[in-house]
Structure 1
Amino acid sequence: MTDDLSGGPRPKGRSARDLERYAGLFASRTRVMKSSAMRDLMALTERPEVISLAGGLPDTSTFPAEDFAAIMAKVAVDSSAAALQYGPTEGLGRVKDVIAHVMAAEGTKVDTGDVLVTTGGQQVIDLVCKTLLDPGDVVVAEAPTYPGAIPSFCAYQADVVQVEMDDDGMRIDVLEETLERLDREGRTPKFIYTIPSFQNPAGVTMSLERRKRLVEIAHARELLVLEDNPYGLLRYEGEPLPTLRTLDGGEFVIYLGTFSKILSAGLRLGWAVAPGPVLQKMNLGKQGADLCSSSLTQYFVAQYFAEGRWEPYLAQLKQLYRRRRDVMLDALAEHFPAEATWTRPQGGLFVWATLPDAIDTTDLLVRALTRNVAFVPGRGAFMDGRGGASMRINFSGVPDDDIREGVRRIGEVVAEQLELFGSISGTRPAGGGKRPQAEQRRDEAGMADVLRLPRRRANG
């Protein structure tokens, strides 16, 4: 098999004409299905020489190999038959108890009867779409939004309406205007999708005032909200904020959680907490998808948490990721042009950077890959072609030196592109110089949360 960046694996030796014979067999939804911007990069970034700032990868090398071996040995001795067997679709009771414990650590109390264990957090997005969406139904999402959610929305033929953000997250005033416009058009959204804490890809966090107002709107309109919260426990500074689920009390918020960022992505274990009738339909959808999530990984998680290992490990991760975030911010200040902007996240895994308008990051990525460095172009986070000058860069998955070198290589390619633009146009675009690190640090000291969220061009 070979890799096709526009659509995944492609059989060797197949011509376009050969493939046309199957065209009449495909469901109509396949015409609007899109590949994830991150998944497209995975094959390329597996090359050892590539510094990948593209993935949303936790650093699994920090998990002690001896702990992994000991936990698996314990599962093998005590529960091998059950761990190798099918389990209940809704998940093992022991794991649901763990989930309630993890959510309580963020101040969110849940009844385990409202929990559905899933195959990663991504399955929650898919199940919510499967449960709620008919073709043409409206989903409201942030702009930019999680690039991995876009393929799910497209697969279920949703009409995605994006609401702009600023340093305090989704602009609720714009959301209200959007909902009123949709009312006039006779269209009611099936749900609002938001990542309120350390948003992917923007890195910003929704303020408490906006969280409260969003929940008020959901109650007033009886409108469901899908709260995607994979990073809530990865806070490096600032005061914790209540989840939307806490503020809602369990009526209109569907909560998405995952072990991917606080333990291991390879476990492929996440969960949903939802109102009873919604959860029942999601359970039916999951039965048709995979019967149940892996019993083996569920037993691993249950044993790991039973031994009280998770909080010290989480503290270690937070210390590591905070340092890497600071390394990336310093590298951006040193190597990116003076007019570039980027967010300064209080937690999570990502920085969102916007370059001068002369740069298109989709084209820039092609050039960056020749220097063996990768990032996610900004257009992958929008449905309408915006984000052309922006990029998502990840600081959690690579060592400090690779962060510095990766940002340096991107900055080098940006400088070359700006120089080329200047030679062709006869003008020097804004942002041709570098921002002194001392000036950048002064800017950061004056911002409690993030730097100015990158500007959006109306035409992309």
Structure 2
Amino acid sequence: MPLVDLDRFDFLYATRVKGMKSAVTRDLMATLSRPGIISLAGGFPDTKAFGEEAFREISQAIAPDAAQALQYGPTAGLESIKDVIVEVMAAEGTPARQEDVFVTTGAQQGLDLIAKVFLDEGDAVLCEGPTYAGALNAFAAYRPKIAHAPMDRAGIIPVAARETLMRARKQGIHVKFIYTVPNFQNPTGVTMVAERRKELLGLAREFDLIIVEDNPYGMLRFEGEPLPSLAALEQEEGDVDRVVYLGTFSKIFAPGVRLGWVHAQPGILHKINVGKQGADLCSSNLSQMMISSYFRNADWKSYVKRLNGMYRERRDAMLDALAEFMPKEVHWTHPEGGLFVWATLPSYLDATAMLPRAVAKNVAYVPGEGFYAGGAGKNHMRLNFSFVEPDKIRRGVEILAETIRERMELRSDMERGSRQGRSQKGAARSGSRASGAGR
């Protein structure tokens, strides 16, 4: 069978394709399925916790309505699932109205639709640095400029964000929105403190922007007190049209149903509705009815609580293993929830270059540079703890620490050899000068 020239139609591709990149987590999928691999890479919830019996009961419950489940539905979503979404948002402390909810095929589609309706080529988005790689990929098709504002362990730094926005304004760059993952951020695991949430809202008002609040992990809290969402704070302050809130059932139910939502003011939702019609007409009725049935008839909060207990145990296993095995030059975050730990290596190490060596030892992680638009973050890595049992997490971190030490020792040996080489050359030059003086 002849090989297909994948560049055969380069002359036909749209210009936007040049800005599109495959997500590094998606590229790792083939590796993660390899037998024996300890994956600290993918941001997967543990779907085994849901159970076959619960899945069977849901399927049986919606069987009498099979005709509707297998039919097209309204673009904005079924009324029953919107009621569930309002309930979930209330449980997170965010008041919501059904008419302000729009159902999407995963929160990832929400990101694409928001980019579609707001971004022209050359516009800009202000993101945390680092930020969710999937958001960068969703935005990239519309060819915006990405500006990163640095973070610390309290979240995005508002002073730096303001400086970035001022610089963009002076350069005539139109920043359309701020994108943030405030709770247990992907990839860092950091949670934005309450005061900075208020400051970010203030920046949005000052520069007349919207804020896209992506909150897939908000209910996965293991310790500490929940913080109000940006959407809830905005309502408290009486300004109810600036925050576009994204939610998903992927982490509190299952990612396979591919169902998320956007909560926003009606004008924005109208534009998103038109954009979604051109993308997929509507999200799956089957998925919507499955979730509606489960949340109506089962104790979903207990399920989330059970997940949190399991994830906390795994997070603790990862933090303990990092403390035990990692060289003292390596640092990491201590998330209060979510799925991720962000590790910082010595500045001279390249986590992307090191990945093949780790995979050869059957451990995978996500290198940090995929979470920046400009290729920064090379000495960082994202580690996931939700999908692997504690003993495997411990072993994976131990192997990873060995790999890092090897790279550090290699660097040390190279520097030692370089110094010795310079010393020998200096000695040779001194000897040559002494010999010449004797003649």
Are 1:291 and 2:252 counterparts? no
The TM-score with structure 1 as length reference comes to 0.88
Match of 1:431 in 2: none
Residues 141, 192 of structure 1: 8 Å contact kept: yes
In structure 2, what is the equivalent of residue 121 of structure 1? 107
Instruction: Report the aligned-residue RMSD.
Output: 1.3
Name the counterpart of 2:141.
Answer: 155
- Structure 1 equivalent of residue 395 of structure 2: 405
TM-aligned CA deviation for residue 343 of structure 1: 0.1
CA contact (8 A) 1:34 1:150 kept: no
Offset at residue 327 of structure 1 (A): 0.3
1:98 to 84, 89, 95: 84
**Residue type matched to 1:62 in 2?**
A
**If each structure's helix is expressed as a fraction of its own residues, which one has the higher value?**
2
Q: Could you tell me which of 2, 19, 23 is aligned with 1:36?
A: 23
Query: Which of 48, 65, 86 in structure 1 is aligned with 2:35?
Result: 48
Contact 2:122 2:173 in 1 (8 A): no
> Counterparts of 1:331 and 1:192 in 2: how far apart (Å)?
35
- Between the aligned partners of 1:227 and 1:13, the Cα distance in structure 2 is 48
Letter paired with 2:190: V
Give per-residue Cα distances to partners, 1:318-369, cap 9 Å, x unaligned. Answer: 1111111000001111111111100000111000001112321001111111
Query: Using the alignment, how far apart are the partners of 1:405 and 1:285 within structure 2?
Result: 46
Secondary structure at the counterpart of residue 175 of structure 2: coil
The question of 1:263 aligning with 2:249 is answered no
Which residue matches 2:353? 363
Task: Give 2:93's aligned residue.
Answer: 107
* 1:234 shift after superposition: 0.7
SS in 2 for 1:43: helix
Residue in structure 2 matched with residue 422 of structure 1 by the alignment: 412
Task: Encode CA deviations 1:109-167: one digit per residue, 9 max, x unaligned.
Answer: 11110111010110010000011011111000000000111111211101000000001
| Count of residues in correspondence between the two structures | 414
Computing the radius of gyration from Cα coordinates, the structure with the larger value is 2
Where does structure 1 lack aligned partners over 5 or more consecutive residues?
1-11, 429-460
What displacement does 1:427 show?
A: 8.1
Equivalences for 1:217-236 in 2 at 5 Å? 217-236=203-222
Pick aligned residue for 1:327 from 308, 317, 320: 317
Kindly provide the amino acid, as one letter, of the partner of residue 345 in structure 1.
P
> Normalised by the size of structure 2, how large is the TM-score?
0.92
Q: Could you list the structure 1 runs, at least 4 aligned residues long, displaced by more than 4 angstroms after superposition.
A: none
Task: Please state if 1:14 is matched with 2:14.
Answer: no
Within 5 A, what are the aligned runs for 1:379-394?
Answer: 379-394=369-384
Cα distance in 2 for partners of 1:80, 1:410 equals 49
**Partner-residue secondary structure (3-state), 2:6:** helix
Question: Match for residue 428 of structure 2?
Answer: none
Does 174-183 or 258-267 show the bigger shift? Answer: 174-183
The residue aligned with 2:327 is 337
Shift of 1:222: 2.2
Q: Which residue of 2 aligns with 1:193?
A: 179
What is the identity percentage for the equivalent residue pairs of Structure 1 and Structure 2?
51
Matched, 1:306 2:305: no
